Amino acid sequence: GQNIDQPTEMTATEGAIVQINCTYQTSGFNGLFWYQQHAGEAPTFLSYNVLDGLEEKGRFSSFLSRSKGYSYLLLKELQMKDSASYLCAVRDGDYKLSFGAGTTVTVRA
């Protein structure tokens, strides 16, 4: 089966940096995704990593180490609107995604 772990909750201050870790054990690997989901809204795509290294997209960056089964999502210059749930998902070899339970990030003023 698939096992994807991420912290349940994190709290940070506006303007700060938060790093959300995701570890995975899957039968195969064909890409790792991060999604953002605000309460009552659709999950929206943030990033995709298939090779080792860092992908930067504005204030958000995502890192992947395939040998360690590890990824993180880095949120810089936090804003109140970044309060949301962040979902880590792994594509294990065909097209299907296995999701973690999500990390709820609360940004405080």
Partner 1 sequence: ETGVTQTPRHLVMGMTNKKSLKCEQHLGHNAMYWYKQSAKKPLELMFVYNFKEQTENNSVPSRFSPECPNSSHLFLHLHTLQPEDSALYLCASSQETSGSGANVLTFGAGSRLTVL
Provide the minimum distance between the beta carbon of 60 and partner 1 in the complex, in angstroms, as a whole number.
15
Cα Rg, the chain, nearest whole Å: 13
Closest CB to partner 1 among residues 67, 95:
95
**Shortest Cβ 63–partner 1 spacing (Å):** 17
Minimum distance between the CB of residue 56 and partner 1, rounded to whole angstroms?
A: 16
Chain residues that interact with partner 1, rule: CB under 8 A: 4, 8, 30-31, 33, 35, 40-45, 48, 87, 89, 91, 93-102
Residue 21's CB: how many other CB atoms inside 10 A? 15
Asked if 38 contacts 89 with a C-beta cutoff of 8 angstroms, the reply is no
CB nearer partner 1, residue 15 or residue 93:
93
| Residue placing its CB nearer to partner 1 in the complex, 78 or 84 | 84
